[in-house]
């Protein structure tokens, strides 16, 4: 059972914070499909204190996605406290501290999983963050730095002692990254020593994995990361699996397309059409995994640089089941070739016209308004 003041869940299913993935556009969809708690992308505390616009953008939240946690990371106590206070001003339901990021540029400088190398510093920093804010503070971490320094039981006891409300454990070491098997046995070992909720993460890619995690551990919840990348319906499938023992409503092609286009529309409204279409390419494999002609469909989709072109291609594929007929592929090079000999002023005008056109096409969809993403 997870109890964070007004929110209570039995066998909770959470969306993990993921860089360049869990923005507002995607979090809303995951909440609608059954994720009980979602998190922002992780926010660099140093950048946030310096007034970095990217950090502020990552922390944009709305009521439709509640409960929502803002995740921050850093290696300086004063900066982390200040960042937590700034995050609290946006009224999240909780603040989560990233103590599990394994990438070198984060962990090697003592942030993320780097905190595991100095438990005393980690304990004191988080103690001060907990004391500085009124909202619940949670932590996401790993079982240890490497196989020779697994210290998660000690870490968990320290965190409970300073007032952390829940702990998510990615059951791999920092050295493993995402390789190898996640060792879920550490969940019960930690549960033997603490009373606060413990959430299992790592190696949970499908509804069957989530069911197995609950059956084989005493975890209070499961957190889904890569298993939700382009497959937001995994949360609905997990709920069905936990309740019924099987998936009774498999995702249809039409629903995949509807969800994909909803996600893309929301992302365009957040980032603008060009940036959205480029960043969205990583999702196509997930949305259309295991369907006919996936390779040719994905290739065609990745060439499109307008929302309307993507929508037309997918709606046609929905009817025909192939993309061979689709001739109006507009490549990035073709679309922007007219810029090659333009002045800077001309380029700005072209960009403005392109964005204006994209907004018009989006507004023609009766389900979308410019303010809908923030409602």
Residues noted as catalytic: 101
Query: What is the spatial distance between Cα 199 and Cα 188, in angstroms, rounded to a whole number?
Result: 11
Which residues, including other chains, have CB under 8 Å from residue 87's CB and lie 6 or more apart? 43, 48, 59, 70, 72, 95, 133
* Share in percent of the chain as helix, strand, coil (round to 5): 50, 15, 35
Reply yes or no: is the peptide bond before residue 67 cis, omega within 30 of 0.
yes
Which whole-number Å values give the CA distances from 312 to 265, 300, 316, 323, 326, in the listed order? 13, 12, 6, 11, 9
Task: Note whether 8 and 1 are within 8 A (CB).
Answer: yes
Task: Note whether 163 and 137 are within 8 A (CB).
Answer: yes
The dihedral of CA 75, 81, 86, 87: what is its sign?
positive
Calculate Rg over the CA atoms of the chain.
22
253 CB-contact burial (10 Å; exposed 0-12 / middle 13-18 / buried 19+): middle
230 dihedral zone (left: phi>0; alpha: psi -120 to 50; beta): left
SS3 199: strand
């Amino acid at each position: 059972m997870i109890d964070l003041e007004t929110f209570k869940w039995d066998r909770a299913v959470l969306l993990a914070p993921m860089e360049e993935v869990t923005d507002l556009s995607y979090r809303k969809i995951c909440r609608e499909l059954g994720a009980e708690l979602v998190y922002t992308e992780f926010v660099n505390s140093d950048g946030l204190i310096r007034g970095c616009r990217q950090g502020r953008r990552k922390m944009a939240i709305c009521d439709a996605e509640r409960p929502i946690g803002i995740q921050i990371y850093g290696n300086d106590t004063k900066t982390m406290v200040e960042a937590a206070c700034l995050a609290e001003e946006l009224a999240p339901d909780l603040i989560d501290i990233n103590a599990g990021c394994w990438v070198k540029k984060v962990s090697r400088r003592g942030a993320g999983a780097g905190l595991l190398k100095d438990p005393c510093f980690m304990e004191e920093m988080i103690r001060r963050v907990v004391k500085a804010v009124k909202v619940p503070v949670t932590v996401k971490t790993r079982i240890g730095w490497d196989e020779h320094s697994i210290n998660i039981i000690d870490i968990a006891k320290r965190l409970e002692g300073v007032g952390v409300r829940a702990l998510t454990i990615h059951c791999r070491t920092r050295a493993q990254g995402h390789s190898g098997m996640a060792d879920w046995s550490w969940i019960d070992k930690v549960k033997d020593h603490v009373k606060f909720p413990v959430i299992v993460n790592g190696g949970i890619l499908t509804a069957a994995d989530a069911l197995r995690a609950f059956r084989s551990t005493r975890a209070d919840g499961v957190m889904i990361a890569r298993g939700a990348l382009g497959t937001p319906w995994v949360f609905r499938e997990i709920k069905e699996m936990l309740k019924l023992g099987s998936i009774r409503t498999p995702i249809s092609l039409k629903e995949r397309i509807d969800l994909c286009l909803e996600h893309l529309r929301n992302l365009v409204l957040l980032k603008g059409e060009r940036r959205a279409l480029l960043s969205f390419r990583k999702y196509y494999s997930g949305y259309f995994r295991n369907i006919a002609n996936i390779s040719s469909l994905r290739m065609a989709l990745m060439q499109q640089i307008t929302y309307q072109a993507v929508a037309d291609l997918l709606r046609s594929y929905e009817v025909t089941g192939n993309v061979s007929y689709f001739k109006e592929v507009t490549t990035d090079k073709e679309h922007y070739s007219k810029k090659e000999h333009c002045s800077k002023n001309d380029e700005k005008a072209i960009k403005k016209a392109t964005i204006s056109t994209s907004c018009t096409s989006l507004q023609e969809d009766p389900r979308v308004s410019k303010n809908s993403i923030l409602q």
